[in-house]
Structure 1
Amino acid sequence: MTTRQAILIAGPTASGKSALALRLATETGGVIVNTDSMQVYDVLNMLTARPSPEDLKAVPHYLYGHVSPITAYSTGRWHSDVECVLAKPELYEKTVIFVGGTGLYFRALLGGLSAMPDIPATVRSYWRRQDAEQGAERLHAILAEKDALGASTLRPTDSQRIVRALEVFDASGRSIVEWQRETGKPLIDTDDARKIVIEPDRQWLGERIASRFGMMMKGGAMDEVKALLSLGLSPDLPAMRAIGVREIAEVLAGRVLADEAAELATIATRQYAKRQMTWFRNQLGDDWERLPYP
Structure 2
Amino acid sequence: MHPAILIHGPTASGKTALAISLAKRLGGEVINADSMQVYRDLKVISARPDDEEMDGVQHHLFGHVDAATRYSTGEWLEDARAEITRLERSGKRAILVGGTGLYLLALTQGLSNIPPVPEDVRADVRAIAESEGAEGLRDRLAPVDPDTAERLGTGDRQRLARAYEVWLATGRRLGDFHEVRQPPVLKEGEWIGFALTPPRSRLYQRIDRRFEGMLMQGAMDEARALMERDLDPELPAMKAHGMPWLTAFARGEISAELAAENAKRDTRRYAKRQFTWIGRQFPFWPRIPSPEAEQRLRVIHALYREIDRGKEADYS
Q: Same fold (TM over 0.5)?
A: yes
Which residue of the partner structure matches residue 292 of structure 1? 290
Which residue of the partner structure matches residue 142 of structure 2? 144
**Residues of 1 paired with 2:245 and 2:263: CA distance?**
6
Which residue of the partner structure matches residue 124 of structure 2? 126
Contact 1:40 1:64 in 2 (8 A): yes
**Residues of 2 paired with 1:167 and 1:254: CA distance?**
33
**Residues of 2 paired with 1:173 and 1:181: CA distance?**
16
Contact 2:197 2:287 in 1 (8 A): no
Which residue of the partner structure matches residue 165 of structure 2? 167
Which residue of the partner structure matches residue 263 of structure 1? 261
- TM-superposed CA distance for 1:206, in Å, is 1.2
Equivalent pairs, count: 292
- TM-superposed CA distance for 1:279, in Å, is 1.2
Spell out, residue by residue over 1:187-223, the C-alpha distance to the aligned partner (whole angstroms, 9 max, x if none): 1134342211100111111111111111100011010
Which residue of the partner structure matches residue 109 of structure 2? 111
Unaligned ranges ≥5, structure 1: none
Unaligned ranges ≥5, structure 2: 294-316
**Residues of 2 paired with 1:59 and 1:89: CA distance?**
13
Would the alpha carbon gap of residues 121 and 200 (structure 1) be closer, same or farther in structure 2, given more than 3 Å must change?
same
Q: Partner of 1:43: helix, strand, or coil?
A: helix
**Residues of 1 paired with 2:228 and 2:87: CA distance?**
40
Which residue of the partner structure matches residue 34 of structure 2? 36
- TM-superposed CA distance for 1:126, in Å, is 2.0
**Residues of 1 paired with 2:133 and 2:252: CA distance?**
26
**Residues of 1 paired with 2:119 and 2:219: CA distance?**
34
Letter in 2 for 1:224: E
- TM-superposed CA distance for 1:234, in Å, is 1.6
**Residues of 2 paired with 1:155 and 1:24: CA distance?**
40
**Residues of 2 paired with 1:263 and 1:287: CA distance?**
33
Contact 2:9 2:98 in 1 (8 A): yes
Spell out, residue by residue over 1:222-252, the C-alpha distance to the aligned partner (whole angstroms, 9 max, x if none): 1000111111012111111111112212322
- TM-superposed CA distance for 1:108, in Å, is 0.2
Contact 2:87 2:94 in 1 (8 A): no
2:13 is aligned with 1:15: yes
**Residues of 1 paired with 2:106 and 2:290: CA distance?**
25
Which residue of the partner structure matches residue 229 of structure 1? 227
Of 226, 240, 250 in structure 2, the residue corresponding to residue 242 of structure 1 is 240
Higher mean C-alpha deviation, range 9-18 or range 156-165: 156-165
- TM-superposed CA distance for 1:280, in Å, is 0.6
Which residue of the partner structure matches residue 297 of structure 2? none
Which residue of the partner structure matches residue 251 of structure 2? 253
Q: Which has the larger radius of gyration?
A: 2
**Residues of 2 paired with 1:146 and 1:279: CA distance?**
25
Q: Partner of 2:81: helix, strand, or coil?
A: helix
Which residue of the partner structure matches residue 53 of structure 2? 55
**Residues of 1 paired with 2:87 and 2:270: CA distance?**
37
| TM-score normalized by the length of structure 1 | 0.93
Spell out, residue by residue over 1:139-171, the C-alpha distance to the aligned partner (whole angstroms, 9 max, x if none): 111011111122233242322222221222122
**Residues of 2 paired with 1:287 and 1:257: CA distance?**
42
- TM-superposed CA distance for 1:30, in Å, is 0.6
Higher mean C-alpha deviation, range 162-171 or range 97-106: 162-171
Higher mean C-alpha deviation, range 89-98 or range 214-223: 89-98
- Considering fraction of residues, name the structure with more helix: 2
- TM-superposed CA distance for 1:135, in Å, is 1.8
Letter in 1 for 2:264: T
Q: What's the C-alpha RMSD, in Å, of the aligned pairs?
A: 1.8
Would the alpha carbon gap of residues 70 and 63 (structure 1) be closer, same or farther in structure 2, given more than 3 Å must change?
same
Contact 2:45 2:222 in 1 (8 A): yes
Of 196, 210, 216 in structure 2, the residue corresponding to residue 218 of structure 1 is 216
Spell out, residue by residue over 1:37-58, the C-alpha distance to the aligned partner (whole angstroms, 9 max, x if none): 1111121111111111223461
**Residues of 2 paired with 1:60 and 1:89: CA distance?**
11
Contact 1:119 1:168 in 2 (8 A): yes
